[in-house]
Structure 1
């Protein structure tokens, strides 16, 4: 294993907090692999780059010679993590959780080394808990401390409901650390309370407490809000390479260093050089974004996917050519209304370009819709059917195309 200081250079890269740092150093100085814990609740079937940030950090631990334990929270997901929430999460059924868990693991293994990863499900030890054991665990915590956490404090101060079962969540996550004997637990920066609860419970049960490590929440492609499917500013791990590449090319220049540090496979020393280039003004953001997009496409779709996506991107945007493999639809999808016109907003939905007629109208009003390369005027929702024939292309923005055949 590398010397402690060299390991810490990698471990601290892109982290927010390590609590406490001196305990982590002592654990590393023993020279034996640590057990690194990450718990994930499979509340949705698809992951995005924001979800992958702690997975990337775990992979760094693996490359340093440590072992990781990925806990699939099929028990805790039935409650729902209250961290960062201003309302109680809607409950999921066991069937939903198990279905999501299967997808979660397959996507996580695109980042982690399967040979160095233990995958466990906390439902295996949480669901069989009896009343006596639950009372023992809950007796190690007090309500005043739990109400100190920011999300509960804010909800209580604002008179918003806090369901009693939400108080149990940090207790159960802490118990996960006891069961797997974690040396270090990581999570997003909004998870710090839950991670420290694990330290407290391990200490109360006579164990050496885990170290808590947090990573920042990834800012989405809009450069404003955290990455989230609900905000539409996400890059999905299962996005097609061309879509993934295009989305990454759209991020603001100032996010490039953070995306390299939190999402890419580049060595820390190379990322440090990129940071310096941005600081001294010598960086070429466009070229670096292309490098970033290729790297991430290769990570999730295999070697060569990035080069292929870049070639498609260049053909489409730099040479103003239509993509070679755009989706094709039969001409019969074009339907006229009672006025003998084609309601373009609905056609955009039928062509898979947008999800609703309302979104279609917004795209038209924004001037981003083209038929055979000619822009559609804003507010022009009903168009002449003569515009459409076999071979006609319909385009919205730079990435969404359809061809009639």
Structure 2
């Protein structure tokens, strides 16, 4: 049993950014294995955007991990707090949503998250149930637990205060209400992003103030890098993989990531165990497994998760057919460059030619293509991005410029 407990803790700590009170989490898991008693893991979602991308699902994947080891997920829809708007990470107050918008977005969230979470081990909750009943006296009592000085310590508040950017009094109420959610829900563990640390710790503070007999542990997840491997995954940056993307598009986007970023996605998104991932890494390192094969497996797993079993294999077959028609191999050697690279040097480093002078001659002979387009500029510099280089009819390489 001890091995099971330690394995569970390793999976729970996998990929995390920070954890507070791991001892409490270990006690909860140990109790589950010894007595079968469940514990409660909370994550709050203000339903301000109905469509998730894979960056959003990092936290949901961790919730699913807890479900494997005795956790009952408290999936909190912040229908009440969404009408206030948490400015975390923002320089201005969020737009207040209508009640119908909140309900519509909440329904969309529920439909998408159950592709990851076990519905039988999930309680979907709405904080309007207890926050509407709090009343004026209750709110004043709640607000007495924190000073203005302590509130200004929150990073986004302090920056806005120093720059004379307005802060609504209602925004001070938000972290208090999020913390009170943990009191009302009797939460054992709360999950959130690193930008939510202040609010997550508020739950611990208020559970102690309200004599709940517990102080929730806190686990923070990192931000997932987008397809470029540099900036966080974001729809506004266009470097995202949407949960509702078509299977073919989802598969292709995952295949486009670098081999280095692939392991980050495995760590934060895959359901494979740490042991299984280490075996794949070892196979790639000793060249018994091609990186393309490992990336295919990741793409298939994720597509199957959101489109149903078998969808990933179908997408792979369709993708291979498209590439076959373009005469591009599905398995390409990949070369990573840290900065802008001269095309002739890239051809040499990718082992497509023996020298830069040979590269020049091949370019002038119209024998070199970049992303299937012939080039004749031997002074071309490749900027940040991904490229498929081709020399002649049969020599290919994938280039990643960071």
* TM-score of the two chains, using structure 1 as the length reference: 0.76
The superposition leaves residues 283-338 of structure 1 with CA deviations (integer Å, 9 ceiling, x where unpaired) of 743222211111100011111100111111111123328xxxxxxxxxxxxxxxxx
Correspondence list, 1:322-341, <5 A: none
Which of 217, 233, 237 lines up with 1:211 in the alignment?
217
Could you say what secondary structure the match of 2:326 adopts?
A: coil
The superposition leaves residues 244-266 of structure 1 with CA deviations (integer Å, 9 ceiling, x where unpaired) of 11111112222111111111221
CA contact (8 A) 1:257 1:274 kept: no
2:173 corresponds to 1:168? yes
Correspondence list, 1:302-317, <5 A: 302-317=308-323
CA contact (8 A) 1:256 1:285 kept: no
Shift of residue 160 of structure 1? 2.2
Shift of residue 275 of structure 1? 5.0
2:189 corresponds to 1:188? no
2:250 corresponds to 1:244? yes
Correspondence list, 1:5-404, <5 A: 5-31=6-32, 32-207=37-212, 208-275=214-281, 284-320=290-326
Shift of residue 278 of structure 1? 6.9
Supply the distance in 2 between the matched residues of 1:80 and 1:368 (Cα, whole angstroms): 47
Bigger mean CA offset, 13-22 vs 196-205: 13-22
Shift of residue 94 of structure 1? 1.2
User: What is the match of residue 383 of structure 2?
Assistant: none
Supply the distance in 2 between the matched residues of 1:131 and 1:9 (Cα, whole angstroms): 44
The superposition leaves residues 328-384 of structure 1 with CA deviations (integer Å, 9 ceiling, x where unpaired) of xxxxxxxxxxxxxxxxxxxxxxxxxxxxxxxxxxxxxxx9999xx999xxxxxxxxx
Shift of residue 6 of structure 1? 2.0
Unaligned runs of 5+ in 1: 322-366, 376-405
**Aligned residues, how many?**
328
Could you say what secondary structure the match of 1:128 adopts?
A: coil
Query: Residues 280 and 140 from structure 1, CA distance in 2 versus in 1: closer, same or farther, beyond 3 angstroms?
Result: farther
Shift of residue 98 of structure 1? 0.8
* TM-score of the two chains, using structure 2 as the length reference: 0.76
Could you say what secondary structure the match of 1:271 adopts?
A: helix
Query: Residues 136 and 265 from structure 1, CA distance in 2 versus in 1: closer, same or farther, beyond 3 angstroms?
Result: same
The superposition leaves residues 76-97 of structure 1 with CA deviations (integer Å, 9 ceiling, x where unpaired) of 1112222211221122111111
Could you say what secondary structure the match of 1:30 adopts?
A: helix
Bigger mean CA offset, 24-33 vs 142-151: 24-33
Shift of residue 24 of structure 1? 2.1
Query: Residues 160 and 274 from structure 1, CA distance in 2 versus in 1: closer, same or farther, beyond 3 angstroms?
Result: farther
User: What is the match of residue 394 of structure 1?
Assistant: none
RMSD (CA atoms): 2.5
Supply the distance in 1 between the matched residues of 2:15 and 2:324 (Cα, whole angstroms): 33
Could you say what secondary structure the match of 1:161 adopts?
A: coil
